[in-house]
Amino acid sequence: MLTSRWTRAGLGLVVPVLVLAAWQISTAAGIFSPVQLPSPSAVYTAAADLIGRGQLGNHVAISTQRVLIGFAAGGLLGLALGAVLGLSRLADILLGPMIGALRAVPSLAWVPLLILWLKIGEDSKITLIAIGAFFPVFTTVSLALRHVDRNLVEAARAFGLNGLKLLTTVQLPAVVPAVFSGLRLALAQSWLFLVAAELIASSMGLGFLLTDSQNNGRTDRLLLAIILLAVIGKITDALLGLAEKKAVAKWA
């Protein structure tokens, strides 16, 4: 039964439904004040109000656009540098320690520097998201390439494959599952970095909606932003998961 797609989807909804029920019961019983925890109907009303004003769609669209662009840029750079360090011992010795140190820098620590360098436009926000997406892809690709079966590589070289041809034909296909694991982690990280990115003088986006709602005491809108981040993040991860299945079936 657990192999059925619809069964798994139904079981996956059990916990969210239970959480929603507990949320409704706790607010109806007065356990929490409306400021601490608005009811689900209050959050729905806040969503309807923002939709009626034509604002909610814009918040979702601009945040999604920033995440996808930053994820694409950071993922591609992580794939390229991960391949270089995974295949070259010299590059790993030269660049590995520095990249490892940069990976430990918290996301908010980049904000003042990016504002100084790139001002407060879209470039600084997308760059911060790209930084968040870069490290998971870089780490998984570089580690996976170091552990590609040497016999497989030697067999490919015996057939005349070398350099970029060897990488694209043998080595990268051999690490497709690891690459997609890194990409899915990078996508999740991109959504995490979005909130920090939208602290950079934003007037639109779900991160802006979070901070603006906090400043104005609108807990209903704050919860709405959190729910939307969770739902959209899950949808994008599911789409990437479908791409992973197709890629693994084709190349792995």
What integer best gives the mean pLDDT of the chain? 89
152 pLDDT more than 80: no
Q: Averaged over 226-244, what is the pLDDT?
A: 94
3-state SS track over the chain: CCCCHHHHHHHHCHHHHHHHHHHHHHHHCCCCCCCCCCCHHHHHHHHHHHHHCCCHHHHHHHHHHHHHHHHHHHHHHHHHHHHHHHHCHHHHHHHHHHHHHHHCCCHHHHHHHHHHHHCCCHHHHHHHHHHHHHHHHHHHHHHHHHCCCHHHHHHHHHCCCCHHHHHHHHHHHHCHHHHHHHHHHHHHHHHHHHHHHCCCCCCCCHHHHHHHHHHCCCHHHHHHHHHHHHHHHHHHHHHHHHHHHHHHHHHC
Kindly indicate the confidence band of residue 146, based on its pLDDT and cuts at 50, 70 and 90: confident
The whole-number pLDDT of residue 225 equals: 95
pLDDT tens per residue across span 169-217: 778 788 888 899 999 999 999 999 998 888 777 889 999 999 899 899 9
pLDDT tens per residue across span 7-59: 777 788 899 999 999 999 999 998 888 889 999 999 999 999 999 999 999 99
Q: Averaged over 224-228, what is the pLDDT?
A: 95
Q: What percent of the chain has pLDDT over 90?
A: 56
The candidate with the shortest Cα–Cα distance to 60, out of 182, 235, 243, is 235
The candidate with the shortest Cα–Cα distance to 192, out of 106, 132, 110, 150, is 132
pTM of the model: 0.89
Cα 79 versus chain centre, distance: 15
Token representation of residue 234: 């899950």
